[in-house]
Amino acid sequence: MDVQLEDSLLIKRYIAGDEKALEALIDKHNQRLSSFIYSKVNSRDITEDIFQDTFIKVIKTLRRGAYNEEGKFLPWVMRIAHNLIIDHFRKSSRMPMFNGADSFDIFSLLGDDKLNAERQIIKDQIDCDLGMLVNELPADQREVLVMRIYKDMSFKEISENTGVSINTALGRMRYALINLRKIIEQNDIVLTN
Amino acid sequence: MRKIYVTEKSEKNIQMADESTIKFLLDYSKSLKIIEAEGIKFESNMN
């Protein structure tokens, strides 16, 4: 709870013109955000770039007065970073790089590990169905499940952001999964690719 | 239960953004001006 209050206080100060508050916000979330980005992209340089772009978006949004997350600053920042990571992978898959080797292999350039159109449609449908199932969960369970699965947050981070103990967060996750299985079984839903 | 599920981050995965990146962000913030005219917000960077 304290973490949320502190973030909202720093945001208010920053919007009011206190640049030190921005420094405090960056320092506070530097390690968590950098580690999250690095865990996805596995490159120091790209991590720096995405970290920088994430905070440029944060700064612009705060300064424009468009921020409205009611105390959940870190999940919001993580979401921005997550979207930028996806953009990065999209861009890099559109521009394949070939690193010179002794024997040139054309198939190293032509390889395609993307899903074909049919499988992509099936995957999109499953993602969509799963999203609807998740929305059926009680709000407290849904919140924990989304933070854990979609935002890749640890239970310690979830506990800090929701203001509940780690054991409560674990319990909510457990019941969220049990309830999801129940809904799937009761409605004979098939989620396979 | 907590022992089973809480995953401690390994040292090699702990990362911090470079000081130069943070300095850039702080300078960027200082130089950014948002000007509103007739309901439209314009951004400009003043060095």
pLDDT of residue B39: 77
- For residue A29, name the pLDDT band (cuts at 50, 70, 90): very high
**ipTM here:** 0.72
Residue type, A125: Q
Mean pLDDT of A29-57: 93
pLDDT of residue A96: 59
- What percent of chain A lies above the pLDDT cut of 70? 83
pLDDT of residue A97: 62
pLDDT of residue A177: 92
Task: Examine the pLDDT at A82 and tell me if it is beyond 90.
Answer: yes
pTM of the model as a whole? 0.56
Mean pLDDT of A106-124: 70
Q: For B13, which residue in chain A has the nearest alpha carbon?
A: A35
CA angle B38, B42, A57 (to 5 degrees): 135
Of A17 and A94, the structure prediction assigns the larger pLDDT to: A17
- CA-CA-CA-CA dihedral for A105, A110, A114, A118, to nearest 10: -130
Task: Examine the pLDDT at A1 and tell me if it is beyond 50.
Answer: no
Task: Look up residue A165 and give its DSSP letter.
Answer: -
Q: Do B16 and A30 touch (CB under 8 A)?
A: yes
Task: Examine the pLDDT at B26 and tell me if it is beyond 90.
Answer: yes
The enclosing H or E element of B33 equals: strand B32-37
Task: Examine the pLDDT at A139 and tell me if it is beyond 70.
Answer: yes
Mean pLDDT of A168-189: 88
Contacts of A37 in chain B (CB under 8 A): 15
| Both tokens assigned to A118 | 């049919």
pLDDT of residue A122: 81
Contacts of A48 in chain B (CB under 8 A): 17-18, 21
Q: Do A30 and B5 touch (CB under 8 A)?
A: no
Q: Do B1 and A56 touch (CB under 8 A)?
A: no
Mean pLDDT of A154-165: 89
- For residue A103, name the pLDDT band (cuts at 50, 70, 90): low
Q: What are phi and psi of A162, to 5 degrees?
A: -100, -10
- For residue A55, name the pLDDT band (cuts at 50, 70, 90): very high
Mean pLDDT of A101-109: 60
